Amino acid sequence: MNRPLATSSLWLLVATALLVAALLPFDGTISQWAQGLPGGVVTFNERITDFGTFSWMIYGSGSIVIIAYILNRVASSETWSSKTKTAWRLALYFLVTIGSASAVVHLAKLVIGRARPELFAEHGPHSISFFAGHDWVFQSFPSGHSAAVGSFFGAFSMLAPRLRILFALGALAIGISRVVVGAHYPSDVAAGLLVGLWTAVMTAFLFAGRNWLFRLDDKGWPRLKSSTSGGAGSKEP
């Protein structure tokens, strides 16, 4: 395995474990406090929280992949073909990243079966019912919305690293909203965000291996190509 690939996976796994472990003792307290914030704060978070749904991201990027690929196949000029090739590979990067995050998170939800905050009075903040995740109220860990925005903004951060702080703040805002609206505990959000970031990084490695959008630098890390359409000397298929 590529050493940077293994290293990044290990660090993200360790970061997830440490953050979850650090937040678990305070999950109940923070969750109850967040839900008791002033009405205006709660209302604002209710308005922004559904930005973090997998469905519109997957359907949107999937539609762009199909349209751009068809345009690429019928393109009559080399310049137009190059632009549409870049477009469908860019959309495919988002589709694979977000789709992978969705698969990982929903599998984890099914296996772990953590009770959501709405069952706090009955089950407390640390109730686990393995393989009960088919029931929505036992799908708290990890947060799907957080994983969605983690993968979405994570993909953007791989494409535009200079704006990573802004993307991180955007993902964090949606993640926090899941706690405020009472859908998740803080540790659910931390895990979801880092799962999403992990899929963005892993997909970048995958694409770099195929010379799509990214290339592997001298240290083996994926970097955005100076010309995603495959500049001079590029051997993109």
pLDDT in tens, 209-224: 999 999 998 888 999 9
pLDDT in tens, 146-202: 999 999 999 999 999 999 999 999 999 999 999 999 999 999 999 999 999 999 999
Please report where in the chains the tokens 């993307």 appear, as a residue.
Answer: 167
pLDDT at 163: 96
Torsion of the alpha carbons at 168, 33, 191 and 122, rounded to the nearest 10: -160
Structure tokens at 161: 């690293």
Report, in angstroms and rounded to the nearest whole number, the Rg of the chain calculated over CA atoms: 20
Say whether pTM exceeds 0.95: no
Q: Name which of 37-46, 91-100, 217-226 the model is least confident about.
A: 217-226
Residue from 214, 233, 236, 231 nearest 4 by CA:
214
Query: Average pLDDT, whole number, for the chain?
Result: 91
CA angle 57, 58, 61 (to 5 degrees): 80
